[in-house]
Amino acid sequence: MRAGLLGIEGLSREDIDVILSRSHDFQPPPRQPFKRFEILKGKTVVNLFFEASTRTRTSFEIAAKRLGAEIISITASGSSVSKGESLVDTLNTLGAMRPDAIVMRHAASGAPHFLSRYLPIPIVNAGDGTHEHPTQALLDARTILDRRQSLEDLRIAIIGDIAHSRVARSNVYLLSKYGARMVLCGPASLLPCELKSIAPGVELTTNMREAIEGADVIMMLRVQLERQHESPIPANEYFQFYGLRPEHISLANQNVIVMHPGPINRGREISSEVADSQRSAILNQVENGIAVRMAVLESVLAPEPAQQREELKAQ
Amino acid sequence: MSERLVIKNGRVVDPSQQMDAVLDVAIEDGLLRLIAPNIDATGGDTFDATGMVVAPGFIDMHVHLREPGFEYAETIESGSRAAAAGGFTSICCMPNTQPVNDSPTVTSYITERARRHAIVNVYPIGAITKNSAGEELAQITSMRHAGIVAISDDGRPVMNARLVRRAMEFAKSLNIPLIEHCEDLDLSAGGDMHEGVESVRLGLHGIPRASEDVMVARDILLAELTGARYHVAHISSRNAVDMVAFAKSRGLAVTAEATPHHFALADRDMQPYDSNYKMKPPLRAPRDVDAIARGLASGAIDAVATDHAPHPGDEKMQEFERCPFGIIGLETAIPLTLERLFHPGMVSLTRFVSMFTEKPAGILSLDKGTLKPGAAADVTIFALNPPWTYDVNKSPSKSRNTPFHGREFKGGAVATIVAGKIVWRRDDW
C-alpha cells in the first residue's frame, strides 16, 4: 500500500479491511457536516486525468482537501499531452515538481502499472482503461457494509458491459476475497467466458432475471459505448433485456441494494423509478467515495497511520 | 597461396548428408573441401572444436532489418552482426521497410547494401502487394530477377483471397514460396495480446487464436487450388499446427516456421504491461505452446525462425496498447531452442540442426544448409552445455526489446563462419 494503489487484485483481505474500517472513521455522522483534518497537511497530490471524469476527479479533490493536503487537478486536454509528449515524460516532469502522490486516470489498461516501474512517486489508480478502478470497488464495499453485516455469502449481481468494465473487474477481485457469490450478466458479446476463471465465486449468465433472482446487491454498469470497437448489441434492445426496471426488484432478496458507479443513463441501463427508489444506494456511493478516498490517500501518504488514528479520535 | 581453415575434432552434424560423427572439416578459398578424420592442418588456420557441434551455417528465414527507412532501429549491418552473434550465417529480411520492398529498385538497394556492409548472407523477401497495402500485386517477377527468395506482406496480412490466389500463381511460376503472416484483421482488430483469461484479467483487448486459424485454413485451400508453395510465418496456434499437418498429409507444398518465443513463453509468463512481451502473433495459451513444441518435434512445423523485430526503447516505453509489436531474437534462438526442445529430449541433435539449416534452405530453395564438399563454407559452431547469461546490452543489434534479458541459458553459438571467414566468435568458451 505504501507504494500507492494500483489495483484490488494484488491486495490482501487485510489491506482492504484496513481501508474499509478507516473509511468508516471518515464518514460524517448523519446530519452533520464533514470534518476537516490536518492529517496530510503540507502534502501535495496531483490529480492527473487523461480521461474525462467529473465525479472521481472531484471526489479525490474533496478527499485530499478534507485531509488538509494541497491538490492540483490536471486534465489531459490543454496540457503537454496534446503537444505530443510521451506519458513517461509527462509523469517525469510532474515528478520533478515533487508531489507526494499522483492520482491518475488513463484510457490505457496498465498505464499506471507501467509508470510505477519508472517513477518513485506513489500512484493511486483512479481507473485504467478496461482493467481496474480500485477506489470504486472499495467505495462499493463500504456502501454494502453500511447496510449489511459482512460481504461474506452475499449474492451480488453485476449487470451490463462486463467485458469493458474496470468497475466490474475491481469489484470481482474484491468481493471474491470475501467469499461473496457473484453473478456477472450481460449480452453474450460483452461477457467473455474467461471471466469465470479470473477469481473464485463467479458465475455468468446472459439472462437478467436469472442474475437478479435471490440477489442481495444489484450493481448496474454504465453502457460504455466509447470503449467498444464495435456495437455488439443494438441500442434499442439493450434496455429491453438488460435495463433494470421495477419488475426486476421483486425477484431479488428483500431489501436488495441497487448500485451504479455513475454517471447513470436513465432509460438505457436503469429506469428512473429504480434509480430514485428506496432501494437505490447510488448517492450513498458518491458520498462514500470521499471517505474511502480519504482512507486511501491517508494510507498512501501518512507515514504512521496508528498515530493519525489517535489524532482523529482526539478531534 | 590459398586460404585454408581446418575445424578440428568437432561433432559434425549435417542432416543433408545424414552425418553425425566427430570429424575434421577443411575449408579452402571459401568453399568446403573435405570432411574426414585427422585432416592435416599444416599451412593454414585451425579451429579447435573439441566438445562442440559443427553444423551447416544456420539460416533465419524471418528477420526485420529495418533498412531502408528505419535505420535508427536496425541496419543491414547491425542486424547482420546480431545474426552472426546468434550463430546465423544467412538471414532473410522481410519487406516492411520504407519504402516497402515492392520493386526491383528496393530489392537491389538491399542486396547492394548487404554486399557492402553485411557480415552474413542476406536474402530479401519481396512484398506480395504494392506498398503491402493489400490492394494490387507488387512487381513480383522483376523482384525475383533482382534477387528475392520469397514473397510476403509480413505484418500486413493480405485479406483479399483473390489477390492471394493471383500472388500464389505468380509465386508458383517463379518457383518461390508465398509466406503469409496469418491474421484476420477483422478478428484481431484492437487486440494487444492473446485472447484468454490473461487478457480478460488485465483488461487488454484480445487477439483470438481464430484470427490465425481462419487465415491458415483459407491459404491452405488456395495453395491446393493453385499448387503453389505456401509457408506459414510464425505459427502460434494449436489449430494452425494441426491444419498444416493435415495439408502435408494431403501432399500439399505447405510448410511452417515457429519462433522460439512461441514455444518458450505463454501468455501467463508475461510481465503485466511490459511491452517486451508484446508481439504478433501474441504469446498464446500453454496448450498452444505445447503444440508448437510438439509440431517442431514431429516435423509438422518445419523450421525455427526468429521474427527478429527491432524497435528502439522509446517506442517500447509507452502505454502497452500504444507500443509496437515485436521483439529481437537472433541471439537467443539457439539457446532457447536447446532449452525447450533439445535438452528435454523432444528433438534429436540432427532434427535440431535441420530446423535451422536443411529445412529453411529447402523451403526457400537456397543452395545453403549443407556441408557437402563444394558448397560455400558457411558453418555454425555451437556448444550444448556451457552455462551463460544473456545480456542484451552487449548485443550488436541497435535495439534492446527482448523479454529474455538476464535469462540463464545452457549452450549457444560459439563461432559463425561465412564463406570460410570467421565473422564472429565467442571469446569466453
Instruction: List strand residue ranges (DSSP E) for chain A, in order.
Output: 4-5, 44-49, 70-75, 101-106, 123-128, 155-159, 181-185, 202-205, 217-220, 257-259
Which fold, A148-280? Answer: Rossmann fold (3.40.50)
Within an 8 Å CB–CB cutoff, is residue B85 touching chain A?
A: no
Q: Give the minimum alpha-carbon distance from A30 to chain B in angstroms, rounded to a whole number.
A: 38
CB contact under 8 A, A110 and B203: yes
pLDDT of residue A234: 74
**C-beta separation of A297 from A124 below 8 A:** yes
- Tell me the C-alpha distance between B384 and B352, whole Å: 11
| Residue A75's pLDDT band (cuts 50, 70, 90) | confident
By the 10 Å C-beta count (0-12 exposed, 13-18 middle, 19+ buried), B405 is classed as middle
* Residue A230 to chain B, least CA–CA distance (Å): 10
Contacts of A130 in chain B (CB under 8 A): 203-205
User: What is the C-alpha to C-alpha distance for residues A243 and B374, in angstroms, rounded to an integer?
Assistant: 77
Residue A83 has pLDDT above 80, yes or no: no
Q: What is the mean pLDDT of chain B?
A: 97
Interface touch A88/B320, C-beta < 8 Å: no
Spell out which chain A residues touch chain B, with contact meaning CB-CB distance below 8 angstroms: 9, 86-88, 106, 108-111, 113-114, 128-132, 163, 166, 169, 192, 194-195, 197-198, 229
C-beta pairs of A59-62 under 8 Å, 24+ apart in sequence? A59/A286, A59/A289, A59/A290, A59/A293, A60/A103, A60/A124, A60/A126, A60/A293, A60/A297, A62/A290
Answer positive or negative: Cα dihedral of B34, B35, B37, B43.
positive
The partner residue sitting opposite A114, judged by closest CB among B196, B206, B273, is B273
Half-sphere exposure of A248 toward its Cβ, with a 13 Å CA cutoff?
A: 32
Q: Which residues of A are marked as active site?
A: 55-56, 83, 105, 133
CATH 3.40.50.1370 in chain A is located at 4-132+288-314, 148-280
The cell numbers describing B420, all together, are 570460410
Identify the pLDDT of residue A172.
Answer: 98
* Mean pLDDT value across residues B65-75: 98
Indicate the DSSP class of residue B1. Answer: -
Contact yes or no for B319 and A87 at CB 8 A: yes
Residue B415's SS3 state is: strand
Q: At what angle do helices A282-301 and A13-26 cross, to 10 degrees?
A: 110
Specify the pLDDT at position A1.
Answer: 39
CATH fold of A4-132+288-314: Rossmann fold (3.40.50)
The closest CB to that of B202, out of A106, A109, A229, belongs to A109
Contact B202 A128 (CB under 8 A): no
Contacts of A9 in chain B (CB under 8 A): 201
Q: Is B189 on the interface with A (CB under 8 A)?
A: yes
The predicted pLDDT at position A81 comes to 62
Average pLDDT over residues B370-392: 98
Dist CA B319 CA B280 (whole Å): 17
Local structure of B69: helix, strand or coil: coil
Contacts of A106 in chain B (CB under 8 A): 319
Which ipTM was obtained for this model? 0.91
Residues of chain B contacting A169 with CB distance shorter than 8 Å: 201, 203
Distance (Å) from the C-alpha of residue A108 to the closest C-alpha of chain B? Answer: 6
For an interface test with A, give the residue of B202, B278, B321 to mutate (most A CBs within 10 A). B202
Crossing angle, helix B238-249 and helix B210-226, to 10 degrees?
20
Task: Say yes or no for a CB contact (<8 Å) between A109 and B273.
Answer: yes
Q: For A127, which residue in chain B has the nearest alpha carbon? A: B203
Q: pLDDT grade, residue A29 (50/70/90)?
A: confident
Q: What is the mean pLDDT of residues A283-289?
A: 96
What per-residue confidence (pLDDT) applies to B201? Answer: 97
**Rounded Cα gap, residues B255 and B232, in angstroms:** 6
CA of B260 to nearest chain A CA: how many angstroms apart? 26
User: Tell me: the pLDDT tens digits for B76-126?
Assistant: 999 999 999 999 999 999 999 999 999 999 999 999 999 999 999 999 999
Q: How confident is the model at residue A228 (pLDDT cuts 50, 70, 90)?
A: low
φ/ψ of A164, rounded to 5, equals: -100, 10
Element spanning A13, H or E: helix A13-26
Contacts of B74 (CB under 8 A, 6+ apart): B64, B65, B66, B67, B82, B310, B397, B398, B399
pLDDT at A77 over 70: no
Choose among B204, B274, B318: nearest Cβ to A87.
Answer: B318
Q: Residue B409 pLDDT more than 80?
A: yes
Across the interface, do B202 and A9 touch by the CB < 8 Å criterion? no
B 199-258 near A (Cβ less than 8 A):
199-206
CA distance B392 to B329: 10
Contact A308, A74 (CB under 8 A): no
Comparing CB atoms, the residue among B190, B273, B320 nearest residue A229 is B190
A192/B203 CB distance under 8 A: no
Dihedral pair phi/psi, residue B364, rounded to 5°: -100, 5
Which helix (H) or strand (E) element contains residue A22?
A: helix A13-26
B14, B184, B267, B307: the catalytic one is B307
| C-alpha distance from B200 to closest chain A C-alpha (Å) | 7
**pLDDT reported for residue A230:** 60
Which residues, in sequence order, are CB contacts of B218 under 8 Å at separation 6+?
B161, B164
Q: Which of B54, B135, B65, B56 is nearest to B93 (CA)?
A: B65
What is the chain B residue with the closest CA to A196?
A: B197
Q: Do B230 and B219 contact (CB within 8 A), yes or no? A: yes
A112-150 pLDDT, tens digit per residue, is: 999 998 889 999 999 999 999 999 999 999 999 999 999
Chain B residues in contact with A81 (beta carbon < 8 A): none
Give φ, ψ of B266 to 5 degrees. -115, 170
Contact A192 B200 (CB under 8 A): yes
Q: Give me the total of CB pairs closer than 8 Å, taking one residue from chain A and one from chain B.
A: 68
Could you give the C-alpha distances from A176 to A109, A181, A257, in angstroms and in order? 21, 7, 18
- Give the tens place of pLDDT for each residue, B12-69: 999 999 999 999 999 999 999 999 999 999 889 999 999 999 999 999 999 999 999 9
pLDDT at A310: 55
Residues from chain A contacting residue B319 (CB–CB below 8 Å): 87, 106, 108, 110-111, 114
How does A94-106 read in b/e, with b if 16+ C-beta sit within 10 Å? bbeeebbbbbbbb
Nearest-neighbour CA in chain B from A130: distance (Å):
5
The mean of the pLDDT values for chain A is: 90
Q: Please state, in angstroms and rounded to a whole number, the distance separating the CA atoms of residues A146 and A141.
A: 9
Is pLDDT larger for residue B412 or for residue A265? B412
Nearest CA in chain B to A90: B318
The answer to whether A277 and A244 are in contact (CB under 8 A) is: no
Contact of B320 with chain A, judged by CB distance below 8 Å, is answered with yes
Query: Do the strands B121-124 and B151-152 form a parallel or antiparallel pair, or are they unpaired?
Result: unpaired
Which chain A residues touch B317 with a CB distance below 8 Å? Answer: 86, 88
Asked if B21 has any chain A CB less than 8 Å from its own CB, the reply is: no
Q: Is B383 left (phi over 0), alpha (psi -120 to 50) or beta?
A: beta
d(CA A244, CA A209): 10
CA distances from A278 to A219, A274, B400 (A): 15, 8, 59
Query: Across residues B348-354, what is the average pLDDT?
Result: 98
Distance of alpha carbon A190 from alpha carbon B261, whole angstroms: 31
Tell which of B186, B201, B277, B316 to mutate to test the A interface (max A CBs under 10 Å): B201
Residues B339-352: what's their mean pLDDT?
98
Q: What whole-number distance in Å separates Cα of residue B355 and Cα of residue B347?
A: 10
Note the pLDDT tens digit of each residue in B274-326.
999 999 999 999 999 999 999 999 999 999 999 999 999 888 889 999 999 99
Cβ proximity of A108 and A250 under 8 Å: no
Residue B273 contacts A, CB cutoff 8 Å: yes
Q: Peptide bond preceding A33: is omega within 30 degrees of 0, i.e. cis?
A: no
Give the CA angle between residues B149, B152, B156 to the nearest 5°.
160
Whether the predicted pLDDT of A315 surpasses 60: no
Question: Percentage of chain B surpassing pLDDT 70?
Answer: 100
Which of B188, B273, B276, B321 to probe by mutation at the A interface, max A CB count within 10 Å?
B273
pLDDT at A199 over 60: yes
Q: What angle do CA A246, A247, A252 make, to 5 degrees?
A: 95
Q: Which domains does chain B have, with CATH numbers?
A: 4-54+375-385+397-425 (2.30.40.10), 57-364 (3.20.20.140)
Name which of A110, A163, A166 is nearest B273 (Cβ-Cβ). A110
Region B235-257 average pLDDT: 98
- pLDDT at A304 (0 to 100): 65
Neighboring chain A residues of B195 at a CB cutoff of 8 Å: 192
* Mean pLDDT within A258-263: 95
The C-alpha atoms of residue B258 and residue B318 are separated, in whole angstroms, by 28
CB-nearest to B203 from A87, A129, A197 is A129
Nearest chain B residue to A111 by CA distance is B319
Are B104 and B145 within 8 A, CB to CB?
Answer: yes
Question: E strands of B312-356, at which residues?
Answer: none
**How confident is the model over B259-264, as a mean pLDDT?**
98
Mean pLDDT for A154-171 is 96
What does DSSP say about strands B421-425 and B408-418: parallel, antiparallel, or unpaired?
antiparallel
pLDDT of residue B316: 85
Residue numbers in B near A197 (CB within 8 A): 197, 200
Supply the pLDDT for residue A3: 79
Of B196, B202, B274, Cβ closest to residue A131: B202
Quick check: A85 pLDDT over 50? yes
Place of cell 566468435: B425
